Amino acid sequence: MFDYHVHSTYSVDCAIPMEVTCQAAIEAGVTEIAFTDHLDHEPADPGCGYYRADDYLRELDENRDRFAGALTVLRGVEIDFNDRIAGQVEAFVSAYGSEYDFVIGSVHYGFGGAIIFPEYFAERTLDEVFLPYFDQVQKAVETGWFDVIGHLDLPKRYAPKTHRNYDPLRYQERLLPIFDAMIAGGVGFEINTSGLRQAPKTSMPGPSVVRWYVERGGTLITTGTDSHAPQTVGAGLAKTLTMLELNGMQQIASFRKRQPTLVAIADLLGPES
């Protein structure tokens, strides 16, 4: 199984060293892991200025060598994106993009630099949260800077009880042009399993979104746990692979040097599936 969204001490919100997480990945049956630490440029974010690319790359390579033969360890990064910081993101991708195996683009902020946390929903309808969010996602796709988009319907993770009536069907027509842009640009999206163990109790995105993407002709999906602790590495991956198969996706992507290779889900699940 592939866990392509994992954090380490190079993320401001994670205190777990890469070596510990690699060992946990092996124990969880993960065969490929990408450390996708946060790269934040939003001034209000606690992680702004925290990420150290050169130190990260050096430590990543040390662990890649340490676990060679037992675990494939990949260079990854999760880059926060929105209009306000696009110039800084472009500068980083121009300078460092070729150094990575895998790059996630994620939208975490809404109007005026406010992070999409529960308090962001106050005095806003779901449309007022999701539609501008999807606009930013589409812009991220159209830059061509990213291999996949992270947690495609992220706001549902932080919706307070007053806003937990999210139904992806309401946004199907808005998602379709995003899928078209993804397919045209060779950009995919991840299935982020953290929602299975948090308030949404479903992956980000869930089955219906996968089905619409497949029906549109999409083929590029990765899987990741968004782990910040060793006990969640690999969590929900097998369930997610089964969900993908049931919704028409027979392969997931493996990345090397920003280039995807499609791998049959049946091969990852094994004969007992």
Helix (H), strand (E), coil (C) string for 58-92: HHHHHHHHHCCCCCEEEEEEEEECCHHHHHHHHHH
pLDDT of residue 166: 87
State the CB neighbour count (10 A cutoff) for residue 183: 17
Q: What is the pLDDT of residues 19-69, one digit of tens each?
A: 999 999 999 999 999 999 999 999 989 999 999 999 999 999 999 999 999
Both structure tokens of 164: 């937990």
Task: Return the residue matching tokens 């027509």.
Answer: 173
* CA gap 129, 90 in Å, rounded: 25
Give the span between the Cα atoms of 228 and 7, in whole angstroms. Answer: 5
pLDDT at 272: 58
Contacts of 210 by beta carbon, 8 Å cutoff, 6+ apart:
191, 221, 243, 244, 247, 248, 249
pTM of the complete model beyond 0.75: yes
In the predicted model, is pLDDT for residue 1 greater than 70? yes
Per-residue pLDDT of 170-221, as tens digits, reads 999 999 999 999 999 999 999 999 989 987 888 999 999 999 999 999 999 9
Q: Token pair of 197, please?
A: 């163990």
Residue that has been written with the tokens 């895998």 in this structure: 102
Mean pLDDT (whole number) for 242-247: 96
| Residues 37 and 21 sit within 8 Å (Cβ to Cβ) | no
Q: State the pLDDT confidence band at 256, using cuts at 50, 70 and 90.
A: very high
Residues 85-89 have a mean pLDDT of 97
pLDDT level of residue 243 (50, 70, 90 thresholds):
very high
Q: Are 253 and 188 in contact (CB under 8 A)?
A: yes
Are 245 and 202 in contact by the 8 Å Cβ rule? The answer is no
Average of per-residue pLDDT values in the chain = 95
Instruction: For residue 75, count CB atoms less than 10 angstroms from its CB and return exposed for 0-12, middle for 13-18, buried for 19 or more.
Output: buried
CB-based contacts of 10-13 (< 8 A; 24+ apart in sequence) = 10/35, 10/37, 10/50, 10/51, 10/52, 10/55, 10/56, 10/59, 11/37, 11/38, 11/47, 11/50, 11/51, 11/228, 12/38, 12/40, 12/46, 12/47, 12/50, 13/38, 13/46, 13/47, 13/228
What does the pLDDT read at residue 127? 93
Three-state SS at 126: helix
98 pLDDT band, cuts 50/70/90, is very high
Owner of token pair 């890469």: 18
At position 173, the amino acid (one-letter code) is: E
Identify residue 234 by its one-letter amino acid code.
G
Tokens of 171: 């946004």
